[in-house]
Amino acid sequence: MLGCGLSPFSYGTNTSFVVYSQANALQVLHWWTSDSERKAVKVLSDRLVDENIEWRNAAIPGGAGVGASKVLKSRVLAGHAPEVTQLNGVVFGEWADLGLLLELDDVSRPGNWKKLLFPTVWSLVQNRDHVVAAPIGIQRINMLFYNKKIFDRLELIAPKTWADFDRVAFKLKQAGVVPLAQSSEAWQVATLFETLVLAESGPAFYRRLFVDMNAKAYADPRLAHALKRLRGLKQWMPMPLREQPWNEMTRQLADGDAAMFVMGDWVKGELRAWGKITDVDFGCSTVPGTDEYHLYSVDTLAMFAGDYSHQQAQEKLAQVLMSATVQTDYNQVKGSISVWRDPNKAKMDSCALASWRTFSKGGAFQAPSLVHRMATDETTKDAIVAEVRRYFMDDQITELDTQRRLAAIARSSPKIERPEE
């Protein structure tokens, strides 16, 4: 059977009438649907055309892959796994243990991935001593973006502490500007929350909560404080909150409808896709109290083994993703940084360089994003995210209540190697 590059999901790529052999057509399930994300996908799919491989989009809208992960599960269970999927984080292990993923050692070994990659990324893509995913970029989550024109007009500078933040927000509100953009989508609320936990406690305590799932840690006053801060920030947000996608929130920041936005650095990719310039139209800072840390999410593509009929094309894709040009070009468009520990820095802006420098400091300064699947399994993550949102939306719920509920989730999480509590 022959496939031609005009699937209903195709956008902007492969529109010529090239006919690809079935073995060279790869359906890729992912959640990159915003303007910058589509541009980033085009970097990848264009590069594959040179290899005579077709990238067939199965793009499932929904920030942070909330929809995509559900679609993926049902497709796999129904026996219709795509050849390739965006599959971030610790969930690889679950899929790989079921024997579903193609091992990429024949690409990673000759490609010297172990040497090229940051150690954190290298260990992330391993399962039982095999490489089971190809990494593309590292996103930094603890970012605070601000509208530079508004800040300049009101003679404000990016807040470094929470006291600064409150002062800046107060002045913005006085000037009639919404200080902080925020959507009520659960994953976006939880994204803000995880940055607050990091600000409150640093990476070690953050890991006890979200990686070790140490139930006792949930009783810690630092967590209560982070929850209080989350609720306190509501005074600076547009009320009532609406459930808007992250790229619409980014639009509000760009248009000056809100002055600041806490979100991963894919926001930078989006602003740049709209022609906005770093340090001119928008400033790129970090959430107060987290400047020396890197709350990270690594985007990776995993390949389903199936009957191995696509193996060659899948391995080629893995090789292409790790190539120097794709690492530079894709990450520039996406707002992320390369997974290489020593990448080409020529095209990196101030924001990317700061991310790279911080990530390079190593594990003690890195925190794996809960919301973006770097810390724990999908179900536990979803349960925590839902609780955090409930607390945030309903002012009647106490911190203590939420701490107890979160501890119960931690206690029942399916983590196998649980450190001593």
Binding site for ligand GAL (CB under 6 A): 31-32, 37, 63-65, 88, 139, 246, 264, 266, 297, 299, 372
Based on CB atoms, which residue is closest to ligand GAL, 54 or 185? Answer: 185
Q: Which is nearer to ligand GAL, 83 or 185 (CB)?
A: 185
- Which DSSP state fits 366? E
Please state, in angstroms and rounded to a whole number, the distance separating the CA atoms of residues 373 and 22.
32
Ordered alpha helix ranges (H), 161-291: 162-174, 186-210, 221-232, 246-255, 266-273
CB neighbourhood size of 205 (10 A): 19
CB 132 within 8 A of CB 96: yes
**Least CB distance to ligand GAL at residue 63 (A):** 4
- In the complex, what is the shortest distance from the CB of residue 79 to ligand GAL, in angstroms, rounded to a whole number? 27
Please, what is the minimum distance in Å from the beta carbon of residue 299 to ligand GAL?
A: 5
Least distance (Å) between residue 171 CB and ligand GAL: 30
Distance of CA 139 to the CA centre of its chain: 6
- Could you tell me the smallest distance in angstroms from the CB atom of residue 269 to ligand GAL? 9
Rounded CA-CA distance 239/260 in Å is 15
Q: Which is nearer to ligand GAL, 172 or 317 (CB)?
A: 317
Element (H, E) at 49: helix 35-49
Q: Which helix (H) or strand (E) holds 26?
A: strand 25-30
Pick 136 or 260: Cβ nearer ligand GAL? 136
The one-character DSSP state at 305 is -
- Tell me the closest approach of the beta carbon of residue 209 to ligand GAL, in angstroms: 20
Would you give the distance in Å from CA 355 to the centre of its chain?
14
Residue closer to ligand GAL, measured from CB, 3 or 67: 67
Q: How far is the CB of 314 from ligand GAL (least distance, A)?
A: 20
Give the residue with the Cβ less far from ligand GAL, 33 or 403: 33
CB of 94 to ligand GAL, least distance (A): 17
The whole-angstrom separation of Cα 159 and Cα 262 is 12
Q: Determine the Cα–Cα distance for residues 151 and 27; give it in Å rounded to an integer.
A: 44
> What is the rounded CA–CA span in Å between residue 332 and residue 351?
11
Tokens of 33: 């649907």
Closest CB to ligand GAL among residues 86, 214: 86
CB of 373 to ligand GAL, least distance (A): 7
Name the residue nearer to ligand GAL (CB basis): 139 or 332.
139
Residue with the shortest CB distance to ligand GAL: 63
169 versus 301: smaller Cβ distance to ligand GAL: 301
Nearer to ligand GAL among residue 212 and residue 299 (C-beta): 299
Contact 263, 146 (CB under 8 A): no
Helix and strand numbers, DSSP H then E, in the chain: 17, 15
Identity of the residue numbered 247: N
Between CA 84 and CA 385 the distance in angstroms is: 27
Taking the C-alpha atoms of residue 335 and residue 356, their distance in angstroms, rounded to an integer, is: 12
- Closest approach of Cβ 36 to ligand GAL, in Å? 9
What's the rounded Cα separation, in Å, for the pair 49 and 45?
Answer: 6
Supply the minimum distance, in Å, between the C-beta of residue 87 and ligand GAL.
11
DSSP letter string, 335-365? T-EESBSS---TT--HHHHHHHHHHHT-GGG
Nearer to ligand GAL, 150 or 374 (CB): 374
Closest CA to 226 of 162, 168, 297: 162
